[in-house]
Structure 1
Amino acid sequence: MNTTAHDATISPDAGFAELTATAGRPALQLEYRWLNRDRQDAPIALFLHEGLGSIAMWKDWPQTLCDRLGMRGLVYSRPGYGRSTPRPHDVKWPVDFMAYQAHDVLPAFLDALHIDAAERARMWLIGHSDGGSIALLYAGAFPDALRGAAVIAPHVFVEDVTVESIAEAKVLYESTDLRARLARYHADVDSAFYGWNDIWLDPAFRNWTITDALAAIRCPLIEIQAEDDHYGTMAQIETIAHRVPHSRLCKLAHGGHSPHRDAPETLTDEISRFVASVERGGARSPG
């Protein structure tokens, strides 16, 4: 059963953002949650989840990072995930689905929450996996609407190891208890899983890349990946470092594809040090 804004029990710091329909997008409800909302003068850290993520799947790490940074946090579930509007089962995501999220859905979500230009200019994006790719695309498209970004295990092109791991995930979803475990985090678990899995396994997606979009990024940026990530190699963040020379490359010895879960203290330390260096003037955007 799909959860809607009318039957959900939510706290005062959580809710559903209503995105009205446009010529290229249906009306959407996006679940969101504020962290440290009482810090009205603090910058916002906005969290963008992975390809099978949601608000709930971040668990406590966004709160930990925001407390460390002294920021407000804003976490939301993209369409198709969590309790946000599910993907209709007869709709397949296009190859450029991440650009659509970065260029259309995320700005509309910020508009719906009345986050103005001044607040956006102080905002940090914290993106993981597909969410990291969306953060990079947003940073390139809106270079003056962001203070900085931290991207964790992002994808900028398609690698064989990624496709192989995603194909393995499909086998596990259809033959083990993975579906039941993911169902705790999504109102429509099949919408969430197959929306992500089908497009990544589509042969047309093998040529997807966002490398040309990276050169437009002007804000401070740190790209982070673990050596034991089974969804991507260091070529991902090395490509970012080459295309965005002012960024900071950070390689973790351990942490898998989800260091916020498997190496949270190390990840929090790395991002916190980077943000502090930016605020001290030690890491500036070019020009």
Structure 2
Amino acid sequence: MAVEAIDQFMNISRGTVFVRTWRPEEASKVPIVLLHDSLGSVELWRDFPEALAAATGRSVIAYDRLGFGKSSIRTDPAVPEFVDDEARTYFPAIVKSLGLSQYVLFGHSVGGGMALASASISGDSCVAVITESAQAFVEERTLSGIRAAKQSFENEAQLSRLSKWHGERARWVLEAWTEVWLSPRFREWSLDHYLGKVICPVLAIHGDSDEFGSSEFPHRITQGVSGPARMKILNECGHVPHREKEADVLSLVCSFLFENQVP
């Protein structure tokens, strides 16, 4: 199936956001919106959005959060409430600018947490959520992985590779991840106060070898939401299933959407 990619910039209250839409021929179903991880961007999704659009027959939309990728630079330090801010302020502005009345959310890592938080306050607009490697609370395994990553980025060559995707934003992007997650104020963070308000179907995908979190995360998610929920643990898979096990992820998503009769 042929898929067309369309780029645009949207002005919201705090700056300009870069958005890319992959649109298959004759797409008529509710679109899928991708929410990236802590170091992610539109470009770092690589070929997955096009493959997802072709497999599902749905438009797939991804955007760079403010401070990331090609969106406006941020200089203010990230705050522990950044997941809440995305769900309550920035994502609704994107939805309004795109004119979306309904959507499916697909979030990777912290983007999965943002997807669930957004779904909990969106009413009937969010018709399904797919989380991939999403954190549900602060686990020591997560902190250990972040500490190791922070140490690796002390190597300038490693930071330069991050700059490929974020340009002069790279240092801010890195610290927005490491300094918030490792701060004492963030230790009590969890999705618990959002989960019970998620009424749409939820699919929680997790790798058995995820270096940033155990299977306790998808367990907490699927047991906590109010709508129908399914968990899938992928064998021999780390933190990025859509890259490591793309065919499995595409198959899971298509089956999930079909079984739950997502419009």
Instruction: Tell me, yes or no, whether TM beats 0.5.
Output: yes
Which residues of structure 2 form unaligned runs of 5+?
Answer: none
Contact kept, 8 Å, 1:39 with 1:72, in 2: the verdict is no
Which of 96, 112, 121 matches 1:141? 121
Deviation at 1:132, TM superposition (A): 0.2
* Aligned match of 1:75: 62
Could you say if the C-alpha distance between residues 130 and 280 of structure 1 is closer, same or farther in structure 2, counting changes exceeding 3 Å?
A: closer
Q: Which one of 76, 84, 93 corresponds to residue 108 of structure 1?
A: 93
Q: Which residue of 1 aligns with 2:256?
A: 274
Secondary structure of the structure 2 residue equivalent to 1:164: helix
Residue 66 in 1 paired to residue 53 in 2?
yes
Matches within 5 A, 1:45-60: 45-60=32-47
> What is the TM-score normalised by the length of structure 2?
0.93
The count of corresponding residues between Structure 1 and Structure 2 is 258
| Residue of structure 2 in register with 1:249 after alignment | 231
Q: Once the two structures are superposed, what CA deviation does each residue of 1:52-82 show, in whole Å capped at 9, x if it has no partner?
A: 0000000001110111000011111111110
Q: What does 1:135-284 correspond to in 2, within 5 Å? A: 135-175=115-155, 177-187=157-167, 188-244=169-225, 246-279=228-261
Moved more, 174-183 or 68-77: 174-183
What does residue 17 of structure 1 align with?
Answer: 10
Q: Give the equivalent residue in structure 1 for 2:108.
A: 128
Whole-angstrom distance in 1 between the partners of 2:230 and 2:194 = 18
Q: CA deviation at 1:87?
A: 2.0
Residue by residue, what CA displacement relative to the aligned partner does 1:35-63 show, whole Å, maximum 9, x if unpaired?
01664533211000111000000000111
**Matches of 1:177 and 1:259, distance apart in 2:** 25
Q: Does 1:32 align with 2:19?
A: yes
Deviations 1:258-279 (A, max 9, x none): 0111111111111111111112
Q: What is the rounded CA distance, in whole Å, between the counterparts of 1:213 and 1:277 in structure 2? A: 24
Shift of 1:102: 0.9
RMSD between superposed Cα atoms in Å: 1.7
Secondary structure of the residue aligned to 1:41 is coil
2:126 is paired with a residue whose SS is coil
Percent identity, aligned pairs only?
A: 26
Q: Which residue of 1 aligns with 2:80?
A: 95
Residues of 2 paired with 1:87 and 1:247: CA distance? 36
Distance 1:74 1:175 in 2: 33
CA contact (8 A) 2:5 2:22 kept: no
Partner SS, residue 37 of structure 2: coil
Partners of 2:196 and 2:224 within 8 A in 1: yes
Deviations 1:157-197 (A, max 9, x none): 00001011111111111125221111111132112111111
User: 2: distance between equivalents of 1:96 and 1:12?
Assistant: 33
Structure 1 portions without partners, runs of 5+: 1-10, 21-26, 282-287
Provide, for residues 225-282 of structure 1, a one-character-per-residue CA deviation record: whole Å limited to 9, x for no partner.
010001000001101121126211111112200011111111111111111111289x
